């Protein structure tokens, strides 16, 4: 066992002495040591129940003959950190989480890992760290939050953000915003729609790293507790069979992850996290061109909030990810190994698709191509990302004058001052991985525009958008302005054309005009210190997944 490195032989007597202080005895030294990465915290709703959930994992490990060792990672709530400097730390936290898992697993020679993430950056961060260590690993995502209710309709966090915009436009009262605020997030779990956290949980299950139905099993349910217990037990089976992430994370499994993403219309942030995960696995290559290729071939077959009215619970009751995989048929590689010790084909053989109004058949899709589109053009030579499945048909083509802002704060102020008009193309620069730094999500401006019912407006940024964003919001523009990207050349009044169906984003400027403006550009001053200063020096472009090198 790998853990023999810290417990076997006379030279490890000091190590055993320290382990005895943790409660171990002679018999325990014969058992596999399982590290449990838990992301519990009191301030993130997706994580407040993980202190209880981990106990089921521990019991599963003990009952299967292992010794559990729990350790913690950080977790940043994107909703709470939104629209202020806190959001600059959200995406960078992924790298700290990855380094924490790597450091703890390597430092203590764990024989296997059980990862317990829930929200956005924690899921990919933990898997990235585990991939570096490459010991048997299983993931228990914490489960979605149930939807709230207001006036007989489902609500979630995005409902609250959009309600603020409705109130600013004079369409609802401040009192009604307060009522929505009180009911939209009724308890523990990752935010109720197919936002980034739940998108990444679905991708994790598709990759084969979590047990079937884990992604859509809701928080605080007996079913969730059972999955946690069974995952703990299964970690010992993975040790016995020596099934490691490198055996599961193949090129085909990453292709499957993008297929499921397109079929569900997941968060645009997956175009950051899937390439970042792939960058940790030898022999695997994932880039935006692969996203584009798969997007053109795979139909969008589920309309989950924010794109539609269906909820994560609707998806779960329809059969969850196993039912989606079965629906996709030969668009999925089914011979891939999973943490069950079986292939996808074996896992889904007897799966029933329980509601074809939620999971549409391939011959009756929501849209004929995928829920995410990759655009290119002279604004984004290396690509940019849009959640195509959450845009109405009449907004697939936009052309209008640019209104340029060099920070989220400036554009948010302009929106709430009612300076944005129908037909404008809002351009937000210097919010990329380096420019922010940290590549902030900009849910506040997008949801405000929706709430104000200002529809015929496009947004383009080298930053990113929340998984809860809907409408023609184009993010991840690469290269970013801070790296001399063409987006930094755009000024107020430049005519911009967005053609989503034809995968194009273009500003009416010649190459010479863009080059001249970039040569004379002035970067906004940012007071960057501490961890963000280190991050800014090391982070690569969004089209690489904003990885550190």
Cβ neighbors of 114 (< 8 A, separation 6 or more) are 34, 35, 36, 37, 57, 61, 68, 137, 138, 139, 140, 231, 232, 235
The sign one gets for the Cα dihedral 257, 215, 354, 194 is negative
In angstroms, rounded to a whole number, what is the distance separating the alpha carbons of residues 146 and 2?
Answer: 40
Q: Give the three-class secondary structure for 460.
A: strand
Q: Give the three-class secondary structure for 398.
A: strand
Q: Are 358 and 315 in contact (CB under 8 A)?
A: yes
* Residue 121 is assigned to a ligand binding site: yes
Query: Active-site residue 267, yes or no?
Result: no
Q: Around 513, how many Cα atoms within 13 Å sit in the side-chain half-sphere?
A: 10
In angstroms, rounded to a whole number, what is the distance separating the alpha carbons of residues 101 and 38?
Answer: 10
In 3D space, the residue among 204, 219, 52 whose CA is nearest the CA of residue 146 turns out to be 219
The sign one gets for the Cα dihedral 257, 263, 267, 271 is positive
Q: Give the three-class secondary structure for 458.
A: strand
Q: How far, CA to CA in Å, does 7 sit from each of 36, 113, 216, 290?
A: 19, 18, 39, 45
In angstroms, rounded to a whole number, what is the distance separating the alpha carbons of residues 121 and 29?
Answer: 34
DSSP string, 4-69: HHHHSSGGGHHHHHHHHHTT--TGGGGSPEEEEEE---TT-TTTTTHHHHHHHHHHHHHHTT-EEE
* Residue 441 is assigned to a ligand binding site: yes
Return the axis-axis angle of helices 288-295 and 251-264, rounded to nearest 10°.
Answer: 60
Catalytic residue among 466, 478, 510, 541: 466
Degrees, nearest 5: CA angle 536-448-86:
30
In angstroms, rounded to a whole number, what is the distance separating the alpha carbons of residues 198 and 359?
Answer: 16
Q: Are 542 and 480 in contact (CB under 8 A)?
A: yes
* Binding-site annotation: residue ranges: 78, 120-121, 441
Catalytic residues: 466
* Binding-site annotation: residue ranges for Mg(2+): 78, 120-121, 441
């Amino acid at each position: 066992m790998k853990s023999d490195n810290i417990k076997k032989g006379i030279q490890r007597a000091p190590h055993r002495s320290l382990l005895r202080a943790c409660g171990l005895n002679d018999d325990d030294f014969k058992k596999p040591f399982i590290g449990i990465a838990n992301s519990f915290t009191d301030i993130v709703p997706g994580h407040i129940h993980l202190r209880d959930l981990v106990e089921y994992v521990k019991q599963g490990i003990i009952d299967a003959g292992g010794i559990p060792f729990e350790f913690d990672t950080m977790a940043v709530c994107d909703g709470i950190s939104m629209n202020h400097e806190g959001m600059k730390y959200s995406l960078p936290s992924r790298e700290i989480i990855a380094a924490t898992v790597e450091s703890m697993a390597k430092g203590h020679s764990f024989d296997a890992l059980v990862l317990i993430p829930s929200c956005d950056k924690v899921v990919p961060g933990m898997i990235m760290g585990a991939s570096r260590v490459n010991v048997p690993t299983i993931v228990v995502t914490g489960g979605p939050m149930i939807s709230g209710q207001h006036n007989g309709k489902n609500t979630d966090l995005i409902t609250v953000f959009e309600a603020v915009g409705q109130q600013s436009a004079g369409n609802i009262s401040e009192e009604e915003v307060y009522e929505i605020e009180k009911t939209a997030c009724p308890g523990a779990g990752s935010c109720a729609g197919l936002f980034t956290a739940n998108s990444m949980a679905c991708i994790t299950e598709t990759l084969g790293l979590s047990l079937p139905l884990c992604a859509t099993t809701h928080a605080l349910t007996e079913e969730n507790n059972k999955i946690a217990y069974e995952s703990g037990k299964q970690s010992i089976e993975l040790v016995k069979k020596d099934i490691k992430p490198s055996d599961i994370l193949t090129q085909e499994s990453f292709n499957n992850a993008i297929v499921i993403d397109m079929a569900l219309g997941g968060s645009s942030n997956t175009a950051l996290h899937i390439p970042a995960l792939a960058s940790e696995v030898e022999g695997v290559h994932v880039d935006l061109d692969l996203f584009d290729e798969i997007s053109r071939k795979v139909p969008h077959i589920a309309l989950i909030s924010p794109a539609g009215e269906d909820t994560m619970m609707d998806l779960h009751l329809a059969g969850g990810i196993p039912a989606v995989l079965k629906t996709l048929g030969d668009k999925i590689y089914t011979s891939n190994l999973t943490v069950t010790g079986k292939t996808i084909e074996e896992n889904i053989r007897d799966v029933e698709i329980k509601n074809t109004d939620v999971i549409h058949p391939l011959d009756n899709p929501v849209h004929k191509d995928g829920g995410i589109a990759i655009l290119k053009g002279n604004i984004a030579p290396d690509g940019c990302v849009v959640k195509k499945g959450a845009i109405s048909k009449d907004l697939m083509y936009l052309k209008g004058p640019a209104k340029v802002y060099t920070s989220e704060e400036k554009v948010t102020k302009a929106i709430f001052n009612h300076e944005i008009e129908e037909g404008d193309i809002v351009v937000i620069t210097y919010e990329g991985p380096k420019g922010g730094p940290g590549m902030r999500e900009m849910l506040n401006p997008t949801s405000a525009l929706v709430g104000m019912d200002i529809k015929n407006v496009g947004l383009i940024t080298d930053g990113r958008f929340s998984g809860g964003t809907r409408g023609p919001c184009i993010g991840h523009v690469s290269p970013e302005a801070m790296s001399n990207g063409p987006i930094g050349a755009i000024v107020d009044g430049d005519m911009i054309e967005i053609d989503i169906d034809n995968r194009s984003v273009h500003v009416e400027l010649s190459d010479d005009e863009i080059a001249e403006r970039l040569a004379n550009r002035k970067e906004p001053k940012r007071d960057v210190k501490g961890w963000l200063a280190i991050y800014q020096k090391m982070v690569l472009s969004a089209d690489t997944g904003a990885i550190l090198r």
